[in-house]
Amino acid sequence: MKIPVHVGIIMDGNGRWAKLRGLPRTAGHKAGAETLRRVVKEAKRIGIQYLSLYAFSTENWSRPESEVSTLMKLFDSYLDEAKGFVGEGDRIWFAGDKSPFPERLRTKMECLEQDTRDCGGFNIILCMNYGGRDELVRAVREIAAQGTPPGDIDADMIGKHLFTYPAPDADLIIRTSGEMRLSNFLMWQSAYAEFYFTDTLWPDFDEKALNAAIEEYSKRGRRFGGI
């Protein structure tokens, strides 16, 4: 089976999963965090090298304050145990501007990045306060701030200023919960990605579901504009 190097996952449907069970949305987010652990492990086992996980978008701040603060608490405890499931030799980093997060959380994010900086057999990119447009605006600002002559700017240079650098372009984007949109995820990186949509809600996604997505990916003919 052809294994994608870089997989991005839009982990959607926590709220609906909870609603179906008559539970508060928070319960869906908790169940979703459990799925995340399992999927990270399986992705590593099957040989995916870069796994980008959309955990919180730049637009998710518009949710009710109570939901946002619950998510922050959940991220906080999740990051405590992240080292445990990330495993020896794995690298973890965050895509997105960290500055709006509570200081406690920011410190944990920075420590994890620092501690795993020199690793990189398997790479987990947690996209938090991530937005594809925000990422591109920042990249362009950085390039401009360096005084780069406009004629020197090329796609390769922009790629090097993205939050996901040094991950290569995404090969496969998976979105759960039946929605068929990108919602501002990896816009630049998914220019030639394969897309896989499933109705399964994120808390119900599991090892088998990930393997089904990879199997479907391995059947796709990728041409990159060629023949």
Instruction: Report, as residue numbers or ranges, the catalytic residues.
Output: 12, 60
The only residue of 179, 191, 215, 218 in contact with ligand IPE, by rule CB under 6 A: 179
Closer Cβ to ligand IPE, 179 or 215, answer by number: 179
Closer Cβ to Mg ion, 17 or 217, answer by number: 17
Rounded alpha-carbon distances, angstroms, from residue 6 to 9, 20, 189: 10, 32, 10
Query: Is there a contact between 190 and 170 (Cβ–Cβ < 8 Å)?
Result: yes
- Report helix, strand or coil for 70: helix
Q: How far is the CB of 165 from Mg ion (least distance, A)?
A: 27
Spatial separation of the C-alpha atoms in residues 143 and 160, rounded to whole Å:
10
Tokens of 9: 């996952």
CA proximity to 129, closest of 207, 220, 219, 59:
59
Tokens of 226: 């060629």
Residues forming contacts to Mg ion in the complex (CB under 5 A) are 12
The only residue of 10, 33, 124, 125 in contact with ligand IPE, by rule CB under 6 A: 10
Q: Where are the alpha helices (DSSP H) in 22-131?
A: 25-46, 65-86, 103-116
The answer to whether residue 12 forms part of the interface with ligand IPE (CB under 6 A) is yes
Closer Cβ to ligand IPE, 116 or 177, answer by number: 177
The only residue of 16, 83, 138, 161 in contact with ligand IPE, by rule CB under 6 A: 16
The answer to whether residue 98 forms part of the interface with ligand IPE (CB under 6 A) is no
The only residue of 52, 116, 164, 177 in contact with ligand IPE, by rule CB under 6 A: 177
- Report helix, strand or coil for 55: strand
- Run of H or E including 194: strand 194-197
Closer Cβ to Mg ion, 12 or 90, answer by number: 12
Spatial separation of the C-alpha atoms in residues 91 and 113, rounded to whole Å:
7
Report residue 21: phi and psi, to 5°. Answer: -100, 5
Residues 56-75 that bind ligand IPE (CB under 6 A): 56-57, 60, 71
Nearest position to Mg ion, beta carbon: 12
Stretch touching ligand IPE by CB under 6 A, among 10-18, 107-115, 154-162, 186-194:
10-18
Closer Cβ to ligand IPE, 34 or 215, answer by number: 34
Footprint of ligand IPE (CB under 6 A): 10-16, 54-57, 60, 71, 177, 179, 181, 183
